[in-house]
Amino acid sequence: MKIYHNPRCSKSRQGLAILQEAHQDPEIINYLKNPVSFEELRDILNKLGIPAIDLIRKNEAIWKEEFKNKNLSETELIEAMITYPKLIERPIVVHGDKAVIGRPPEKIKDII
């Protein structure tokens, strides 16, 4: 089990706490310090069953300044998240061939 985690995000901290309370010991990936690869992010999207646009934090300044109102392909959206990892919604928990975005954090219980 992995959690893509931003320790500065309250929802991400709550998600990690839910896993720990359930006696899970996930691999914690601070994706801001250790960015994910293109293939890894594409794999996460496949496990989530969503298009890349649904994983993007659209209220981030970088999104509004650089990408909003542009018609970007799936590949371009993934590349934007790799270049600017703050754009990735968090937390994401991956367990086997399934994944969930912890928004709200209680959704993480669905994957435990």
Helical (H) or strand (E) element with 99: strand 98-101
> Could you list the active site residues?
9
Question: Cα separation of 100 and 106, whole Å?
Answer: 10
pLDDT of residue 51: 98
pLDDT of residue 29: 97
Helical (H) or strand (E) element with 95: strand 92-95
- Which CATH number belongs to the domain containing residue 20 in this structure? 3.40.30.10
User: What is the count of structural domains for the chain?
Assistant: 1
Entry pTM: 0.94
pLDDT of residue 99: 98
Q: By residue range, what is the domain housing residue 43?
A: 2-110
Mean pLDDT per segment of 10 residues, for the chain of length 112 residues?
96 97 97 96 98 97 96 97 97 97 95 92
